[in-house]
Amino acid sequence: MTLADYHRLLPLQYGKMPLFVKAGARGYPDPRYELLARALEPFGERVVDLNPGVGLASAGLLEHSRVDLLETSRACLRCLERSFAHHPGARVRRGLPWEAEAEAYDQAVLVLPAERGSRYVELALWGAAHSLRPGGRLWIAGDTKRGFETYFKQAKQRLGYGLIRHRQGSLRVAVLEKENPTPPVGAPWESFAAEIWGHPLRFRHLPGVFSAGHLDPASQLLLHTLHEDGRAGDVKGCTVLDLGGGYAGLSLPFAAAGASVSVAEDDWGSVLSAQASFRANGLEGRVFHSDVEEALPAADRFDIIISNPPFHLGGEVILDVAQAFVQAARSRLRSGGRFYLVANSFLKYEPLLEAAFGNLSTLRREGYKVLRSEA
C-alpha cells in the first residue's frame, strides 16, 4: 500500500447513502456500529452522534431528523465531511463527546468508546446526558467483554430508565430515557511530571489519550537510547517531527533540548493535550490535527522524525497505519535525516523500513525495539 492509497477515501454503498471510509478510520467494519444502525428508531427532530466514526450508526436517521456528528479523529472527519457535505440535515463537527450543546437534542447516539478507558466513557456518558432535553433518549452500543454492563448501569444512574434492545453474541444495544437533570462534571484535565534528559517536564492531557498518567515504556526506551548514544545533545537547532505525537510524551524532551518540534496527531483530544503540554513548560511546538502527515504544509521536511506508531484501532492490529507512518517518514525527511521508530518486539516493522529506506539499524531490543533508518 502506498501513502496515496492509504489516504484514498472509498465509497461504501450503505443503505440509501454512499458513506466514505478509509484505512485507519474507525467505525467500519465494526459490528457494534452495524447493530446500532439496525436498532435505532426515529424520535424527534434533532439527533447528536457522539462517537460517529465514519457515520455508519446514525446515517439512517437522516431520513427523519437532523443529525449532528461530533468526532475527534481527523481520518474519520475527512470521511464524514465527504459523505455528508451535500446533506442539508447533517452537520459534521470536530469536538470531544462531552462538548455537545446542552439540552438541545431529542436523541443521543453513542458507541461506547471502551478502548479509551473508563474515565473517557464516563465523560462521554455525561456529555450524552447533558446534550439531551428532558425526556430525550440515549442509545448506547457496546460489548459485555468490554464493560458494557458497568457502563449501562452508570448510564441508568445518570439518566433514569433504560432497557436492552438488542443482543448479538456479546454485543448489546440499549436505550435510555432522560428523567434526571445532569449535574456538572469536574474538569477533565490531568497532568504528571517526569525528568527527561535532565529537564524537569510537566505533561498535561485529557482522559482517553495514549499512555495517560505516565510516559509509555516504549517511548521511554527511545528517549533513553538517544541519550545513551549521545544523540540527545545533538538535537539542538534540529527540526523534529513526531508522527502520532499523543500528548507530546516523546517530543516534549526534544523541545526542551532546543529542537524545533512539530507533532502530527489524528486524535483531537491528544492534539489539545500536546498543545497544553508545550504551554505548561513554556515551550513552542507546532501541533497538527493530521491523519499521518496529510495536514502538514506540503514543503515541510525534517532533520529527525520520531514515532511510536499505533497498532491498535478498536482492538484490531492495523499495519496499514504503521506502513503509512513509515512511508510518510521517508517522504518528510530531508536528505541525511534520521528516522527513529520504537515498537513492540513482535511487530514486523523491519521489512517496512527496509523497503522505504533501504537501510536499517536495530539500536536496542529490550521487550521493545528501537529502529533507525537514514534518508
Residues interacting with ligand SAH, by CB under 6 A? 24, 75, 210-211, 216, 219, 242, 244-246, 249-250, 264-267, 270, 290-292, 308, 310, 321
For ligand SAH, the closer of residues 62 and 77 by Cβ is 77
Question: Residue type at 194?
Answer: A
Number of Cβ atoms within 10 Å of the Cβ of 75: 27
For ligand SAH, the closer of residues 122 and 267 by Cβ is 267
For the bound state, the minimum distance from the C-beta of residue 23 to ligand SAH, rounded and expressed in Å, comes to: 9
Length of the chain: 375
For the bound state, the minimum distance from the C-beta of residue 211 to ligand SAH, rounded and expressed in Å, comes to: 5
For ligand SAH, the closer of residues 250 and 259 by Cβ is 250
For the bound state, the minimum distance from the C-beta of residue 266 to ligand SAH, rounded and expressed in Å, comes to: 3
For the bound state, the minimum distance from the C-beta of residue 284 to ligand SAH, rounded and expressed in Å, comes to: 18
For ligand SAH, the closer of residues 51 and 270 by Cβ is 270
DSSP 44: S
Question: Residue type at 98?
Answer: W
- Report which secondary-structure segment, H or E, holds 3: helix 3-7
For the bound state, the minimum distance from the C-beta of residue 235 to ligand SAH, rounded and expressed in Å, comes to: 16
Respond yes or no on whether the N-terminal peptide bond of residue 29 is cis (omega within 30° of 0): yes
Judged by DSSP in three states, 19 sits in strand
> What is the phi/psi pair of residue 187, to 5°?
-60, 135
Which residues partner with 361 through β-bridges? 372
For the bound state, the minimum distance from the C-beta of residue 276 to ligand SAH, rounded and expressed in Å, comes to: 14
For ligand SAH, the closer of residues 142 and 310 by Cβ is 310
* Rounded Cα distance, 169 and 188, in Å: 34
Number of Cβ atoms within 10 Å of the Cβ of 85: 10
Q: What cell was used for 292? A: 499521518
